[in-house]
């Protein structure tokens, strides 16, 4: 079973890590977003230090840990299915202890323990560094001493599970926004930013492990530093990461539109190893819907911002996410969103249907829009985006781009896949490499020969990088 955006350390032979009096075999199922994946990797790091054996075999695992997502209804259902699958291993496998961790625990700890008796312990999002303690506890209701201000740091042990040469780096925890549809502030707590020296130190640690690409994540990365009295924190962080030797790429995820400042955009444009990419979820475009969402904005202000971003950072790739079916989304409001997307011409878009969630400000609005209407609207937006993305990708045919070669394509071992700077891990398309001499885990020049709605096709070439790429390399060598 694979996570939504996570990793499953299951199936295959056990991996022995470290030495200890206790060689208990532990298997992990990690679900949800990259921020949750970082939590899983920190837990794995602590267990490695304690000498536990990490196994890829669900049947052989004596302890199973399910790191859950509890953000929206489909994610909650997937988490419950994963818990029940793990619970079955108490009958058919070697499992003698089942631990449930993560966001679902923060929302439904008591319910989980009451309804699924196979669960032996629960671990919240701010308790992850107590994973070994939880494994050793006898009391089913044992809770470690909580640290509401918990943040992992560069000193936290961490075992990477992402593909070779790429990693996520969480720069903050929690959120101070009050978006009506979102339960994250209740789950993860208020905004807590790490220090810039801590993040830079972790980036250097990752580079020392062979990482070539770092994705900066947080609930709102553009809010970074505000809780520490520094509203320009992300701008300063970008410039400091630009000085990290041996780091070719890093990118920014989850930016908030009204916090995307001119200073940040200049930093992005002027930092050669900062990918010309911005992930900025707008959620909608109709002003009334956005007001009900407690976000603000509208088509005119968003288009003005997009124009500013593209003017300041030429060639940037922009990704956004939208929610359809939010209470109050009339046919006219949806048409506003559709027309906005048509004019905005994003490189990448994700579309989600509204999920009514307990504990959110919007919960009292009900869920009045029928599911079939939500799905129809989602389909229309995705069909529109396919046309836009195909046109955007077609413009790249004939160009030679830097591509991080990641491995075999999921559907065939005969084709390798990679990503250029404008494609983020897992959520965007790939470059399918069908010729030349690709090297796994390396950044190589690839000439684009074919374009589809989401993926590009190309072949590795010797030399021949675009002038812009050559300029990037020259600037990067000069700075480092």
Question: Tens digits of per-residue pLDDT, 205-256?
Answer: 999 999 999 999 998 899 999 999 999 999 999 999 999 999 999 999 999 9
Pair (375, 411) in one structural domain: no
Pair (128, 180) in one structural domain: no
Residue 222 DSSP symbol: G
Q: What distances in angstroms separate CA 63 from CA 57, 80, 118, 250, 400, one per listed residue?
A: 11, 17, 12, 35, 48
Pair (298, 187) in one structural domain: yes
Which stretches of the chain drop beneath a pLDDT of 50?
A: 1-21, 464-480
Determine, yes or no, domain membership for 148: no
Pair (420, 384) in one structural domain: no
Cα–Cα distance, 99 to 105 (Å, whole number): 10
- CATH assignment of the domain containing 351: 3.80.30.20
Domain finish residue from 333, 364, 394? 394
The domain containing residue 474 runs over which residues? 400-479
pLDDT of 164: 85
Residue 59 DSSP symbol: T
Pair (367, 336) in one structural domain: yes
Determine, yes or no, domain membership for 161: no
pLDDT of 8: 43
Count: domains in the chain: 3
Helices (H), 221-370: 233-241, 262-270, 287-292, 299-312, 331-344
Cα–Cα distance, 460 to 397 (Å, whole number): 14
Pair (419, 300) in one structural domain: no
Determine, yes or no, domain membership for 146: no
Pair (189, 124) in one structural domain: no
Domain finish residue from 118, 136, 154? 136
Determine, yes or no, domain membership for 63: yes
Pair (257, 345) in one structural domain: yes
- CATH assignment of the domain containing 448: 2.40.50.140
pLDDT of 22: 53
Determine, yes or no, domain membership for 160: no
Pair (193, 277) in one structural domain: yes
Locus of tokens 């475009």: 285
Pair (428, 385) in one structural domain: no
Determine, yes or no, domain membership for 428: yes
pTM of the model: 0.88
pLDDT of 480: 40
Domain finish residue from 85, 118, 136? 136
40-68: burial string, b at 16+ Cβ within 10 Å, e else: bbbbbbbbbebbbbbbbbbebbbbbbbbb
- CATH assignment of the domain containing 75: 3.40.50.12160
Determine, yes or no, domain membership for 159: no
φ/ψ region of 118 (left if φ > 0, alpha if ψ in -120 to 50, else beta) reads alpha
Pair (39, 123) in one structural domain: yes
Determine, yes or no, domain membership for 230: yes
Pair (29, 85) in one structural domain: yes
């Amino acid at each position: 079973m694979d996570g939504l955006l996570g990793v499953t350390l299951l199936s295959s032979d056990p991996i022995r890590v470290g030495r200890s009096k206790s060689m208990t075999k532990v298997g992990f199922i990690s679900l949800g977003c990259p921020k949750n994946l970082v939590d899983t990797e920190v837990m794995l790091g602590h267990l490695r230090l304690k000498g536990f054996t990490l196994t890829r075999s669900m049947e052989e695992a004596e302890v199973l840990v399910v790191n859950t997502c509890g953000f929206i209804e489909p994610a909650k259902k997937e988490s419950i299915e994963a818990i029940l699958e793990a619970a079955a291993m108490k009958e058919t496998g070697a499992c003698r202890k089942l631990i449930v961790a993560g966001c679902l625990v923060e929302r439904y700890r008591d319910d989980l323990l009451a309804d699924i008796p196979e669960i032996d312990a629960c671990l919240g999002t701010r308790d992850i560094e107590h994973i070994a303690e939880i494994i050793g506890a006898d009391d089913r209701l044992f809770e470690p001493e909580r640290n509401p201000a918990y943040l992992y740091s560069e000193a936290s042990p961490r075992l990477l599970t992402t593909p070779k040469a790429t990693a996520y780096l969480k720069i903050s925890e929690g959120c101070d926004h009050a978006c009506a549809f979102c339960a994250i502030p209740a789950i993860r707590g208020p905004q807590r930013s790490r220090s810039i020296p801590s993040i830079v130190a972790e980036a250097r640690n990752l580079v020392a492990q062979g990482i070539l690409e770092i994705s900066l994540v947080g609930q709102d990365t553009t809010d970074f530093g505000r809780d520490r009295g520094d509203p320009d924190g992300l701008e300063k962080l970008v410039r400091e990461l630009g000085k990290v030797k041996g780091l070719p790429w890093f990118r920014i995820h989850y930016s908030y539109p009204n916090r995307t400042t001119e200073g940040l955009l200049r930093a992005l444009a002027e930092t050669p190893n900062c990918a010309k990419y911005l992930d900025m979820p707008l959620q909608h475009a109709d002003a009334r819907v956005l007001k009900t969402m407690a976000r603000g904005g509208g088509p005119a202000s968003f288009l003005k911002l997009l124009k500013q971003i593209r003017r300041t950072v030429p060639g940037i790739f922009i990704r956004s996410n939208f929610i359809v079916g939010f209470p109050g989304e009339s046919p006219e409001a949806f048409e506003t969103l559709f027309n906005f997307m048509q004019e905005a011409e994003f490189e990448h878009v994700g579309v989600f249907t509204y999920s009514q969630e307990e504990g959110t400000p919007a919960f009292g609005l009900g869920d009045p829009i029928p599911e079939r209407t939500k799905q129809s609207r989602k389909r229309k937006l995705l069909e529109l985006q396919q046309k836009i993305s195909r046109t955007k990708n077609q413009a790249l045919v004939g160009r030679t781009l830097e591509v991080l070669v990641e491995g075999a394509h999921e559907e065939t071992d005969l084709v390798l896949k990679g990503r250029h700077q404008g494609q983020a891990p897992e959520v965007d398309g790939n470059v399918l490499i069908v010729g030349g001499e690709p090297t796994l885990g390396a950044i190589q020049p690839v000439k684009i020969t074919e374009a589809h709605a989401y993926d590009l096709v190309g072949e590795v070439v010797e030399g021949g990088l675009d002038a812009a790429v050559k300029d990037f390399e020259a600037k990067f060598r000069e700075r480092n």
